[in-house]
Structure 1
Amino acid sequence: MKLTWFSKKFLDWNLVLILAGFYLLFDFVLIAKVAYMQYVMLPARPFSWASFLFHNILLDYVIVVSYMTIIASSTKRFLYKKYSWAKIITFHTILSFLIGMVIRLVLDFYSIITSQQGFADYNFSESVYAFMYVIDLNFLIYFAMVSIIYTYYYLKQVKEAEKRHIKLENQLVTTRMKMLSSQLQPHFLFNTLNSIAVLTDVDAGKAKDTIADLSDFLREILYKSDSNCISLDEELRILKYYLNILNVRFSDHLTINREIEESLRYKKIPALLLQPLIENSIKHGYSYNHTDLVINISVFSRDKKFVLRITNNGESITETHAELMKKGVGLRNIDDRLKNLYGKDYFFEIRNMQPQRGVETLIEIPL
């Protein structure tokens, strides 16, 4: 149980496999070098492949990988405790020399217990010479593998930090969208209730129908309250209830035409996008000189963008787009949501049409 806990906390087996793979690659290069030296450069020199592969490759491989596994677990502890770089470099410099000693001592001990040489025949000076002969190579190999260890842990920390950052951003987006949605729904509700209040004095039957449409509308948006984006088809279905309310209120003085590209019906768009735009077109379109209003809703794709275009033949606006954003709750809400969802990768503008009369609302978002 304790070993399992230690393994999970201080040992990363993916890192061990990377280190083992790196040193295996080094051994393949070494074998190729020895083969070249034996069969091209020194053909007459006696040589045993079996002894070389077992002692110089297999035993050395097991010792180095085991040693570096211990170093990897120690390095993770260093990162947790946040030691200074001076201490870490000093520690690894000492261990880089120690690895050569460990390899040498293990190989000497193995040769004694397998009776390849007697203890009396053991020559310490030759062992030191063998250690010093490859000390620079051991130093370079050790620090190459330590660099792999630190790079691995660094990239892992960067990826974990990115995941946390993305998670926090998503949570922030969701929180903002809920706040904006909670702001928008009462705004629409108050306007609709005012319309119903007017209808109750004019036509009680129509007022009841309007209340039914309002009920259906609210049911739809409440079911979608946790969704930042919904399909265009769902948005059009929600819009239908709102248009029924408008038709009761404005009767024959309002005509709404829709031209929808069928391939876009299941594309995701910000929820409750169309209703405040239609409301704005009516609010600014009707005037004393424009009592009959025609609103055209066009949805199409252009240059890998989802384009929503709403035009009316009503009164021209006298304010700029920026001024409209400051005044209208619904319009400002739309702009905030688009910015929240797409950053700078969107276009939203309300402007007068030229040369024909009327106002155009244009939104472009990524497909």
Structure 2
Amino acid sequence: MNRTVLYWLLQILGWGSIALVQIALGSLSPTGIGPVQILGLLVLAAFNLLATHFLRFIIKRYNWFQLKFPRLILQSVLAMLALSFVNIIAQILINLVFGTLNPEEDFEVLVILAGLFIAFLFYALWFLLYFLFHFLDNYNTSLKYEARINQIRLNHLKSQLNPHFIFNALNSVRALVDEDPDKAKNAITRISNILRFSLMMDKKQTIDFEDELNTVRDYLMLESIRFEERLQVVYKIEDEAYSYKLPPMMLQTIVENAIKHGISNLVKGGLIEIKCREGLEDDLYIQVKNSGHLHTPPSLKPKAGGGHGLSNTVERLKLIYGDRASFRIFNSENEFVITEIKIPKQRVTFET
């Protein structure tokens, strides 16, 4: 079931059930309960629903889930107290509108304190269930992410350490040992950087954009040794891009795909252009443009048994960012293929 639908269903069922219990208890009293009082209780339930929905907006807007536990408890208690006071005011206004207000009883200190206590208990129960649901859902999503990221890590290491890659990299270095020893040392350092980064990529869900870009530079420098004049690399990186975080090896995977399916198939080689810019809504747009032509759209669905490539990239984006990220690949002017990714500024939003 869609999370939004589930949220509203639980909200309606929860506050509706409380209203029904209050109506049932009222009907058992000696004086009974009239239609006007029933309507008043239903309006109060609607108020509680809207009040807690507004509170949910505040929680998500200011990212309470990232607060330390003592701070979270303090803010939650203060929020529940504030809502309880507003609830008492709402009850008085509802009784006033429906003509059921009894000033002698409704304004007694003990009655107000009892109303505050009951409202506080209701909101405390709402807080407990909401945060419990969030953390359980977050834990479940994290487990799926960890399983997926481990699969991607193994597949990537398999790809990076396959004999073809090692053969090309070492042959490129061997050709430089006598001709340009300094350049050969630099190439070995870049190979080491890539392999070390591959081994460390499962430590975090996201990494700094600069760290990912440095790995891509190392990789393209190695490929430049292999392709020589056949490979042109252009970087168009806005300064704002460095304030973002990316899933590790995501940009690397896209660039590898551009080399493997684009440049490698062209006799004269071609261009790899990496362009990163910030959008109007604090989103990072990453474009990898490579010479070539996309004859058939690649499969973006995960394959049975895994698979290293674009399908894993799409799956990781979905697990980490949900619907806030996007991925597309398309032809441009019949000469280039563009892979574009949109990533939100905030890292993870496991919404409920």
Q: Normalising by structure 1, what TM-score?
A: 0.55
Distance in 2 separating the partners of 1:348 and 1:359: 14
Deviation at 1:192? 2.9
Deviation at 1:317? 2.3
Distance 1:295 1:162, change over 3 A: same
Deviation at 1:291? 2.0
Letter in 1 for 2:312: N
Hey, what does 2:142 align to over in structure 1?
Answer: 171
- Whichever of the two has the greater Rg, that structure is 1
Instruction: Number of aligned residue pairs: give it.
Output: 250
Distance in 1 separating the partners of 2:129 and 2:232: 56
Hey, what does 2:254 align to over in structure 1?
Answer: 277
Hey, what does 2:289 align to over in structure 1?
Answer: 311
Deviation at 1:233? 1.5
Hey, what does 1:363 align to over in structure 2?
Answer: 341
Pair 1:348 & 2:327 matched: yes
Deviation at 1:277? 1.4
Instruction: Tell me if structure 2 keeps the 8 A contact 1:177–1:228.
Output: no
Distance 1:359 1:328, change over 3 A: farther
Hey, what does 1:77 align to over in structure 2?
Answer: none
154, 159, 167: which one aligns with 1:194: 167
Segments of 5+ residues of structure 2 without an aligned counterpart are 1-76, 97-101, 346-352
Instruction: Tell me if structure 1 keeps the 8 A contact 2:253–2:310.
Output: yes
RMSD of aligned alpha carbons: 4.1
Distance 1:274 1:156, change over 3 A: closer
Letter in 2 for 1:352: N
Distance in 2 separating the partners of 1:14 and 1:317: 55
Q: How does 1:59-78 map onto structure 2 within 5 Å?
A: none
Distance 1:346 1:321, change over 3 A: farther
Hey, what does 2:217 align to over in structure 1?
Answer: 240
Hey, what does 1:337 align to over in structure 2?
Answer: 316
Hey, what does 2:154 align to over in structure 1?
Answer: 182
Hey, what does 1:124 align to over in structure 2?
Answer: none
Hey, what does 1:157 align to over in structure 2?
Answer: 128
Distance in 2 separating the partners of 1:312 and 1:16: 58
Hey, what does 2:4 align to over in structure 1?
Answer: none
Deviates more, 1:325-334 or 1:187-196: 325-334
Q: Which structure exhibits the higher relative contact order, with contacts defined as CA atoms closer than 8 Å and separated by 6 or more residues?
A: 2
Deviation at 1:275? 1.6
Distance in 2 separating the partners of 1:189 and 1:293: 25
Secondary structure of 1:158's aligned partner: helix
Distance in 2 separating the partners of 1:236 and 1:242: 10
TM superposition outliers: structure 1 runs of 4+ over 6 Å: 12-17, 62-65
Distance in 2 separating the partners of 1:16 and 1:255: 63
Distance in 2 separating the partners of 1:222 and 1:323: 25
Pair 1:259 & 2:236 matched: yes
Deviates more, 1:334-343 or 1:281-290: 281-290
Letter in 1 for 2:135: R
321, 326, 330: which one aligns with 2:298: 321
Instruction: Tell me if structure 2 keeps the 8 A contact 1:178–1:226.
Output: no
Secondary structure of 1:343's aligned partner: helix
Instruction: Tell me if structure 2 keeps the 8 A contact 1:300–1:307.
Output: yes
Q: How does 1:60-139 map onto structure 2 within 5 Å?
A: none
Instruction: Tell me if structure 2 keeps the 8 A contact 1:276–1:331.
Output: yes
Deviation at 1:300? 0.9
Deviation at 1:211? 3.1
Distance 1:263 1:323, change over 3 A: closer
Hey, what does 1:211 align to over in structure 2?
Answer: 188
Distance in 2 separating the partners of 1:358 and 1:216: 29
Letter in 1 for 2:327: F
Deviation at 1:256? 0.4
Distance in 1 separating the partners of 2:229 and 2:338: 22
Secondary structure of 1:362's aligned partner: strand
Instruction: Tell me if structure 2 keeps the 8 A contact 1:196–1:207.
Output: no
Distance 1:266 1:185, change over 3 A: farther
Segments of 5+ residues of structure 1 without an aligned counterpart are 1-11, 35-55, 69-143
